[in-house]
Amino acid sequence: MYNFLLLAFLAGVGFALVAAPLGSLVVWRRMAYFGDTLAHASLLGVALGFAFSILPMYFSVAIVCVVVALLLLLLEKQQAIARDSLLGILAHTSLALGIVVIALLPNFRADLYGYLFGDILAVSWQDIIVIYGLAVAVLALLAWNWQKLLAVTVHAELAKVEGISIQRQQLLFVLLLALSIAMAMKVLGVLLITAMLIIPPATARPWSKTPEKMVILALVFAILSVLVGLAASLYLDLPAGPAIVVASSVLFTGSWLSAR
């Protein structure tokens, strides 16, 4: 067995574990662009991490993602500009800032391909430990708050009258999302992260009658895409990240066609 393939598979599954519930919430709340925005912002984190190489890259990416997430929560309170416009502004500003910072660094060669697709075939055991450590923490917090998060997603005002703090659940959700994206950035890259958040839950939707079933099916579809994508990469010599995205799109199309 190729060791790098095993590590790539483990990394993909590690992110799929948190992407299934978080991605489902993203889809239900119509926040697909939010994941996208955070993923874009992480380039700025990478650049800043390189500029002030005191902390490991994970931390600088996590900090930038959390700051952008909080900024969005704050900006959302005003009603003059709609959420999707705000997300667009934040996404492109942080991406442009990231590129500007990179240009200012003399020794940093930006690998935009790596930024888009990560480097899933170069995963180290250390990356695996970081991914799974965070995944366990994120899953524990999600499980503990699942009922409340779901109640707020289904009907925020009803949930509030029933005693759930909308703001606290909102904050928890965006923080967990930001941390998960940060942990997966180096390995999976922007495109794969956003694809794995959105596509597997969308694939699971026609086969699900309850929210929980959708999350579990999303996880199954995500793992399947990772397997198929990696196999395609091995046997057809395709780039691994894009192959995983294509595999999950094929599953999505198949799912909706056969559900009709």
Partner 1 sequence: MPNIEIKQLGVKQQGRWILKDISLTIAPGEIVTLVGPNGCGKTTLVRALLGLMPISTGSISLPDDLSIGYMPQACHIDPTLPITVQRFLSLSGMPIDAALNKKLRIQRLLKQPMQVLSGGELQRVLMARALMRKPKLLVLDEPVQGVDVTGQAKLYDLITQARDELGCSVLMVSHDLHIVMAKTDKVICLNQHICCSGTPEAVQKDPAYINLFGTAAEKLAVYTHDHDHDHDGGEHV
Q: Which residues bind partner 1 (CB under 8 A)?
A: 27-30, 147, 150-151, 153-155, 157-162, 201-202, 205, 208-211, 213-214
**Nearer CB in complex with partner 1: 109/260:** 260
Longest Cα–Cα distance of the chain, Å, equals: 56
Q: Are 192 and 117 in contact (CB under 8 A)?
A: yes
**Nearer CB in complex with partner 1: 203/233:** 203
Q: Which two tokens stand for residue 76?
A: 């959302």
Least distance from C-beta 206 to partner 1, angstroms? 9
Least distance from C-beta 88 to partner 1, angstroms? 21
**Nearer CB in complex with partner 1: 83/160:** 160
Least distance from C-beta 61 to partner 1, angstroms? 29
Picking from 111, 115, 141, the residue whose alpha carbon sits closest to that of residue 39 is: 115
Residue 110 CA: distances (Å) to CA of 46, 50, 191: 10, 11, 16
Least distance from C-beta 153 to partner 1, angstroms? 7
**Nearer CB in complex with partner 1: 189/201:** 201
Least distance from C-beta 219 to partner 1, angstroms? 15
**Nearer CB in complex with partner 1: 166/227:** 166
**Nearer CB in complex with partner 1: 84/162:** 162
Least distance from C-beta 200 to partner 1, angstroms? 13
**Nearer CB in complex with partner 1: 157/237:** 157
Least distance from C-beta 227 to partner 1, angstroms? 25
Whose structure tokens read 């599953």?
251
